Amino acid sequence: MGQSSGVRRIPTLARKAVFMKILLTGKDGQVGFALHKRLAFLGEVIATDRNELNLESSDAIRRFFEKIKPDIIINAAAYSDVDKAESEPELAHKINTEAPMVLAEKASKFNIPIIHFSTDYVFDGLKNEPYLETDQPNPQSLYGQTKCKGEEAVRQYKKHIILRTSWVFGSHGQNFLKTILKLIQKKTSLNMVSDQKGTPTSVDLLADVTYTIVKTILNKASFEDFGIYHVALGGETNWYQYACFITDEVIRLGLKTTMASKDIKSISTDEYLTAAKRPMNSRLNTTKIKKTFMLEFPSWEMEVAAILKIALINN
């Protein structure tokens, strides 16, 4: 999507014969859905959902792993309902902390890599600059705490890649972009928080970056660049500006709406109460991953516009 990206797109003709077995969790989630399609170019993808692999059971994870014996693990599953996690701490802990711990345990036993997805919510959001991978986590929500502990568990094993990202969107599943798209066709006005900063990040970018990492690991026997990486599109915005951009863009593309961006009101976080505390700053510094894997990322505006165009065509 744009010539500035160093990871777009993998042509169908690039498909190769199966030569590795990839265990992918969370195939029905936003990220997992995109990964399932993209990783098929690298081998046999054993993609699982909650019915095929019960991540609430450590024993079930161990039995499944022993049965399929994968060459790499990609954990895209998560308990991601940030507010609901506050009232379901045990379930969030099982999926976000215990499941990654068991997956990393099996990866260690079989000496295979594990790629684990994490979040900006591991930070408190008080830093004035984009967060570096080396910044100290300080989660302020139950969701963030369970994801942080999941990271700690995965980091105990050397051959890990942890990909932190933020404000994820795509054409599949639930996300802010799709919610706004529905609301501006029903409502005549909206209130949007304008004091939380971040960068919308597409699942397509996450899938392409993961593809690049997996391919690099496969092709480089001496690969040693394991660790934590931040992944986000270029630029930054806030929820208010993001909603206005979506509204203006779909109107430009010809969608009939019941409101315009001038009908969106900017409000503060204090005026929008939620069960879980949100980071005021969700910006992530992506210098490390760009340098390590020689990547360039497009702007968030380019990716959002592309997804909206596809969404309107499909409608």
Render pLDDT for 245-295 as a digit per residue (tens, 0 to 9): 999 999 999 999 999 999 999 999 999 999 999 999 999 999 999 999 999
Say if residue 236's pLDDT is above 90. Answer: yes
Other CB atoms closer than 10 Å to residue 182's CB: what's the count? 9
Instruction: Report the distance separating Cα 240 and Cα 255, nearest Å.
Output: 20
Contacts with 7 (C-beta within 8 Å, 6 or more apart), sequence order: 205, 208, 209, 211, 212, 295, 296, 297
284 forms beta bridges with 131
Residue 169 corresponds to which amino acid? F
221 pLDDT tier (thresholds 50, 70, 90): confident
pLDDT of 97-147, one tens digit each? 999 999 999 999 999 999 999 999 999 999 999 999 999 999 999 999 999
Task: Determine the pLDDT at residue 55.
Answer: 96
What letter would DSSP give residue 96? I
Q: Is 29:76 a contact under the CB 8 Å cutoff? A: yes
**pTM of the entire structure?**
0.93
Instruction: Report the distance separating Cα 205 and Cα 245, nearest Å.
Output: 20
313 pLDDT tier (thresholds 50, 70, 90): confident
* Average pLDDT rounded to a whole number, residues 16-41: 88
Q: Which of 44, 45, 231 is nearest to 36 (CA)?
A: 45
Task: Determine the pLDDT at residue 315.
Answer: 65
**What is the CA 207 to chain-centroid distance, rounded?**
9
Say if residue 17's pLDDT is above 60. Answer: no
Q: Which of 113, 117, 112, 115 is nearest to 164 (CA)?
A: 117
**Is beta strand 197-198 parallel, antiparallel or unpaired with respect to 227-230?**
unpaired
Residue 54 corresponds to which amino acid? N
Other CB atoms closer than 10 Å to residue 112's CB: what's the count? 19
Catalytic residue among 143, 157, 211, 242: 143
pLDDT of 69-97, one tens digit each? 999 999 999 999 999 999 999 999 999 99
Is 143 designated active site? yes
173 pLDDT tier (thresholds 50, 70, 90): confident
Instruction: Report the distance separating Cα 204 and Cα 101, nearest Å.
Output: 27
Q: Is 58:246 a contact under the CB 8 Å cutoff? A: no
Averaged pLDDT of the chain: 93
The fraction of the chain above a pLDDT of 70, given in percent, is 94
* Average pLDDT rounded to a whole number, residues 149-156: 98
Task: Determine the pLDDT at residue 296.
Answer: 96
312 pLDDT tier (thresholds 50, 70, 90): confident
The fraction of the chain above a pLDDT of 90, given in percent, is 90
CA dihedral 249→250→256→258, nearest 10 degrees, is -70
207 pLDDT tier (thresholds 50, 70, 90): very high
Say if residue 12's pLDDT is above 50. Answer: no
